[in-house]
């Protein structure tokens, strides 16, 4: 049995992508059980899903801690250590991006790395960052057991009619435009015995209860999400047009726009989610929303 | 009017969708209260901030928020403090599930500052209809198909219902009218020291309204300019409109930017317009 983990952003259709792969494997006479990890899957936030691939029906439905396959649906996930956690040396990585070094520099040792410029294709095909079908196509390219016909059949049979044309086009382009790199891996790696075969008394030691009374002090417990990685577009200021009125700062939902010493208002890109409210409300149209990929190139 | 935060009150990165109206609402709320001693209460919903703020934040269930906060507020007052007790919740919480207990706290005149961000459905659980969902709107439980064409019932006028309890302060707010909104937060804070104060804030939800995130503020403005969401306040039952719209626009100005309304028929739009007009007439009568 091989294990699979998928990483992406909420709104990119990771769950649908996983289900489509599952149906595709069924068409190819194999079994892929997929399970999304349950949580608040906000548009833009990190989303993970798991899968198990076997010749027999799969009964286990716990999370995968040591995946043999990684599918990374968004370039923003490439630089996160959590994405590669537990990845088995010699496994296969299918990643949305163009530079294999970006993946290899994270210390993983795949035997095969398939890269595809998914975001560019997604914008060309659907006009947004929906990379799921493109990555499914690239996955087909990476895994010879899964023929492309099985994937296309799964799309035709299970996706709503109005998505089919773009889905098929995306999957086909993902398959055709993917670049395959292979590496030689030395040494054996054995996985830990899977959780369900071990004698487990309790899943994990329970966290110590926190005294969460209203009169307690909350300063040390603040949790921060790196929402800066969520954005697909970012606001760019044209200083000549700006009248330094601060309207953008008033309405930024994140309240991440601050006045600098030069009097101009600038967004803190570590937290900006790229919603575009500032640019829409600016009376002088001094802000333009520019694709993140423009900056990744530089 | 940018924020100056000496101590970070609230985490700079909150897990809400890009362009979420509620995120702006809670951030402005905390900013306006930053110089006061306050504690907050949060329940299930998109705005659960328990681990995201440095202010003590007490997580409750839907129905026990107002009762729990009432108890804490009473104890604080017994100790001679005038700490502001802030309760934040969605429309599903305050207008539906916890309405009874909220009404009871209002009737008792508890010293609470209750803020309801109204995104007009249960969003956290995946867009189900609430009593604040507008007529005709699509949600997952009021689908559009051969046997259903969106929600059949009108919105519950729940801020009016609360104001009718003759409490210290009730107001409706829109983030697009930022000065008015901030003024009302201060008024409600002061009122909560003498009795029950309630703010009803419109908070567009791009995910549930199926709209583009960047037009969030425009939607708030349109809602006011069409009289769909008039801005008023009431002190002990004395109503007063705070933002007068000279020439109200047709309600389609508000609905046309949202895909949840894209299926509306002429008849449904006419009905919605008629209700908007009737509700506004009613409000004008209350304002005398
Ligand atoms: C008594 C009870 N019923 C149902 C739920 C499940 N639940 C959790 S969040 C939520 C939605 C809350 O909706 P709303 O108050 O409108 O807030 P929003 O999600 O829109 O932010 C529901 C129904 C619950 N936690 N408790
Ligand atoms: S709203 Fe526009 S003009 Fe005003 S400060 Fe922001 S960028 Fe400058
Ligand atoms: S794009 Fe959105 S989050 Fe980013 S600075 Fe502008 S308003 Fe704020
Ligand atoms: S679902 Fe709606 S209310 Fe909830 S975080 Fe997203 S935009 Fe905000």
Domain that holds residue A235: 227-297
Chain center to CA of B70:
20
Choose from A207, A214, A217, A282 for mutation: most chain B CBs within 10 A.
Answer: A214
For helices A14-27 and A132-142, the axis angle rounded to 10 degrees is 40
Out of A185, A211, A240, a domain closes at A185
Q: Take residue A238 and report the two structure tokens written for it.
A: 């044209």
Give the pLDDT score at B6.
46
pLDDT at residue A50 tops 50: yes
pLDDT of residue A37: 79
CA-proximal residue: ligand 1, atom 1 (nearest):
B62
Going by C-alpha positions, the residue among A76, A132, A121 that lies closest to residue A102 is A76
Percentage of chain B lying above the pLDDT 70 cut? 97
- Last residue within a domain, chosen from A125, A155, A185: A185
**B80 or A218, greater pLDDT:** B80
Ligand nearest to the CA of A256: 3
Tell me whether residue B177 is in a domain.
yes
Q: Which domain holds residue B107?
A: 21-287
The alpha carbon dihedral of A191, A192, A198, A203 has a sign of negative
Q: Is residue A214 part of a domain?
A: no
Q: Measured from the CB, is residue A237 less than 6 Å from ligand 3?
A: no
In a domain, A201, yes or no: no
Q: What is the CATH number of the domain that holds A283?
A: 3.30.70.20
Ligand nearest to the CA of A242: 2
The answer to whether residue A224 scores a pLDDT higher than 90 is no
Residues of B in contact with A214 (CB under 8 A): 39, 41, 56-58, 72
Q: Which pLDDT tens digit goes with each residue over A59-81?
A: 888 888 899 999 999 998 998 99
What CATH code is carried by the domain that includes residue A56? 3.40.920.10
**A87 and A165 part of one domain:** yes
CA distances from A44 to B20, B117, B203 (A): 12, 22, 19
Q: Average pLDDT for residues A280-284, to the nearest whole number?
A: 97
Q: Which residues of A70-108 are buried (b: 16+ CB within 10 A; e: fewer)?
A: bbbbbbbbbeeeebbeebbebbbbbbbbbebeebeeeeb
**Mean pLDDT on B225-241:** 97
| A233 shares a domain with A178 | no
> Is B7 among the domain residues?
no
- Minimum CA distance residue for ligand 4 atom 3: B205
pLDDT digits (tens, 9 = 90+) for B261-272: 999 999 999 999
| Cβ neighbours around A250 below 10 Å, total | 23
Instruction: Report pLDDT digits (tens) over A169-184.
Output: 999 999 999 999 999 9
Confidence bin at B2 (pLDDT 50/70/90): very low
Domain match, A241 and A95 both: no
| Residue B3 is assigned to a structural domain of this protein | no
In a domain, A62, yes or no: yes
Residue A212: the pLDDT is 44
B277 occurs within a structural domain: yes
Residue A29 lies in a domain: yes
What is the arithmetic mean of pLDDT over B24-32?
A: 96
Q: Please indicate, yes or no, if residue B105 is contained in any of the structural domains.
A: yes
**Are A110 and A173 in the same domain?**
yes
Produce one character per residue of A123-159: b if its CB has 16 or more CB atoms within 10 Å, e if not: bebbeebbbbbbbbbbbbbbbeebebebbbbbbeeeb
In a domain, B131, yes or no: yes
Q: Rounded mean pLDDT of A5-33?
A: 93
Q: What is the structure's pLDDT at A196?
A: 60
Question: Span A234-256, mean pLDDT?
Answer: 97
Q: Domain check: are A173 and A235 in the same one?
A: no
CA–CA gap between residue A109 and residue A88 (Å, rounded): 8
CATH number at residue B161: 3.40.50.970
Judge whether B37 and B83 are in contact, CB under 8 Å.
Answer: yes
Q: How close is the Cα of B129 to the center of ligand 2, in Å?
A: 37
Q: Are B185 and B198 in contact (CB under 8 A)?
A: no
Single out the residue in A131, A155, A185 at which a domain terminates.
Answer: A185
Tens-digit pLDDT profile for residues B274-287: 999 999 999 999 99
Split into its structural domains, chain B has a count of 1
Question: What's the gap in Å between A150 CA and the centre of ligand 3?
Answer: 42
At residue A221, does pLDDT exceed 80? no
Give the confidence band of B76 by pLDDT, cuts at 50, 70, 90.
very high
Ligand 3 center to A251 CA (angstroms)? 9
A153 lies in some domain: yes
B263 in any annotated domain = yes
Does residue A213 carry a pLDDT above 50?
no
Do A247 and A157 lie in one domain? The reply is no
Which percentage of chain A shows pLDDT scores above 70? 88
Given CB atoms, is A281 within the 8 Å cutoff of chain B? yes
Task: Please check whether residues A74 and A140 belong to one and the same domain.
Answer: yes
Question: How much is the average pLDDT of A218-226?
Answer: 72
Question: Quick check: is B11 in a domain?
Answer: no
Closest in A212, A216, A230 to B18, CB measured:
A230
Q: What is the mean pLDDT of residues B49-62?
A: 87
Measured between beta carbons, the chain B residues lying within 8 angstroms of A223 are 11, 51-52
Indicate if A232 and A177 belong to the same structural domain: no
- Residue to substitute in A42, A227, A277 for testing ligand 4 pocket (most ligand atoms within 8 angstroms of CB): A42
The answer to whether A218 faces chain B, any CB pair under 8 Å, is yes
Residue with tokens 């403005």: B221
Name the domain count of chain A.
Answer: 2
Q: What is the ipTM of this complex?
A: 0.94
Q: Note which residues in 236-265 of chain A have CB less than 8 A from chain B.
A: 246, 249-259, 265
Q: Is A163 within the bounds of a domain?
A: yes
Q: What is the largest CA-CA distance in chain B?
A: 61
Q: What is the pLDDT of residue B1?
A: 40
Contact B57 A218 (CB under 8 A): yes
Tell whether A203 is covered by a domain.
no
Alpha helices (runs of H) in chain B, residue ranges in sequence order: 21-32, 65-78, 91, 99-108, 158-163, 178-191, 206-209, 216-225, 252-255, 266-287
Ligand 1 nearest-atom number relative to CA B47: 21
Q: Is there a domain that residue A208 lies in? A: no
Quick check: CB of B123 below 6 Å from ligand 4?
yes
């Amino acid at each position: 049995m091989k294990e699979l983990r998928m990483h992406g952003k909420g709104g990119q259709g990771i769950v649908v992508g996983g289900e489509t792969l599952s149906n595709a494997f069924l068409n190819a006479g194999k079994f892929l059980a997929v399970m999304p990890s349950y949580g608040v899957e906000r548009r833009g936030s990190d989303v993970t899903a798991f899968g198990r691939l076997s010749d027999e029906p799969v009964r286990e439905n716990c999370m995968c801690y040591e995946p043999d396959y990684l599918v990374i649906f968004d370039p923003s996930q490439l630089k996160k250590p959590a994405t590669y956690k537990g990845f088995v040396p010699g496994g296969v990585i299918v990643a949305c991006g163009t530079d294999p070094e970006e993946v290899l520099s994270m210390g993983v040792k795949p035997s095969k790395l398939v890269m595809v410029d998914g975001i560019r294709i997604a914008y060309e095909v659907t006009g947004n960052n929906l990379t799921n079908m493109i990555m499914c196509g690239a996955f087909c390219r990476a895994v010879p057991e899964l023929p492309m016909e099985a994937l296309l059949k799964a799309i035709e049979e299970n996706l709503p009619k109005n998505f089919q044309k773009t889905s098929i086009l995306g999957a086909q382009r993902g398959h055709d435009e993917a670049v395959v790199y292979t590496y030689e891996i030395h040494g054996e790696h054995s996985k830990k015995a899977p959780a369900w075969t071990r004698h487990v008394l309790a899943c994990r030691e329970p966290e110590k209860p926190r005294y969460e009374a209203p009169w307690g002090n909350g300063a040390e417990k603040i949790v921060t999400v790196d929402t800066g990685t969520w954005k697909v577009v970012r606001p760019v200021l044209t200083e000549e047009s700006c009248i330094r009125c601060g309207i953008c700062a008033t309405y930024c939902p994140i309240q991440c726009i601050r006045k600098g010493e030069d009097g101009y208002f600038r967004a803190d890109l570590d937290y900006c989610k790229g919603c575009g409210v500032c640019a829409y409300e600016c009376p002088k149209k001094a802000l333009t929303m520019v694709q993140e990929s423009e900056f990744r190139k530089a | 009017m940018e924020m100056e935060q000496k101590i970070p009150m609230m985490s700079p990165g909150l897990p809400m969708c890009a362009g979420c109206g509620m995120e702006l609402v809670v951030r402005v709320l905390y900013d306006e209260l930053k110089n006061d001693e306050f504690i907050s209460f949060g329940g299930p919903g998109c705005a659960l901030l328990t681990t995201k703020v440095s202010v003590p934040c007490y997580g409750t269930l839907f129905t026990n928020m107002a009762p729990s906060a009432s108890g804490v507020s009473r104890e604080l007052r017994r100790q001679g403090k005038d700490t502001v007790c802030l309760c934040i919740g969605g429309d599903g919480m305050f207008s539906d599930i916890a309405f009874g207990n909220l009404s009871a706290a209002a009737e008792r005149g508890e010293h609470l500052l209750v803020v309801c961000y109204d995104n007009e459905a249960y969003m956290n659980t995946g867009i189900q209809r609430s009593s604040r969902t507008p007529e005709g709107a699509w949600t997952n439980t009021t689908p559009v198909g051969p046997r259903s064409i969106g929600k059949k019932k009108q919105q519950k006028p729940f801020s009016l219902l609360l104001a009718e309890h003759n409490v210290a302060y009730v107001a409706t707010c829109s983030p697009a009218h930022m000065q008015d909104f901030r003024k009302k937060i201060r008024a409600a804070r002061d009122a909560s020291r003498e009795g029950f104060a309630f703010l009803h804030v419109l908070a567009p939800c791009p995910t549930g309204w199926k709209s583009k995130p960047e037009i969030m503020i425009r939607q708030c403005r349109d809602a006011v300019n069409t009289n769909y969401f008039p801005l008023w306040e009431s002190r002990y039952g004395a109503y007063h409109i705070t933002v007068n719209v000279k020439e109200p626009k047709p309600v389609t100005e508000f609905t046309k930017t949202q895909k949840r309304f894209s299926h509306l028929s002429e008849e449904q739009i006419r009905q919605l317009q008629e209700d908007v007009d009737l509700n506004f007439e009613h409000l004008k009568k209350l304002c005398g």
